[in-house]
Amino acid sequence: MMFQERAITRESLEKILRVLDSDEGVRIDNELNRIFVNKTSKKYCIDISINNKDEFIYKNSANEVMYFLKDHLNESSKIFAY
């Protein structure tokens, strides 16, 4: 199986987070880090990767994820759904 990713807009990010399946995710590329968001059956997992070091943060809802991400998104952020 080949995974496909597509660029998404910041405006569509919350909608995509709400409907994520367990085999899907979101990647955010910033100048200094990469952020991955996945969803288990109960929680969202946010993985912030900086210089090959990962920090995992868990949130209960798409709203909480969006609130967390607002400080991590900037004009140069590139967002992808996969």
The Cβ-side half-sphere exposure at 14, using a 13 Å CA radius, reads 10
- pLDDT-derived band at 41 (thresholds 50, 70, 90) equals confident
Q: What's the pTM?
A: 0.90
Arithmetic mean of pLDDT, 22-36: 95
Arithmetic mean of pLDDT, 36-63: 95
Residue 5 has pLDDT above 80, yes or no: yes
Residue from 81, 72, 35 nearest 56 by CA: 35
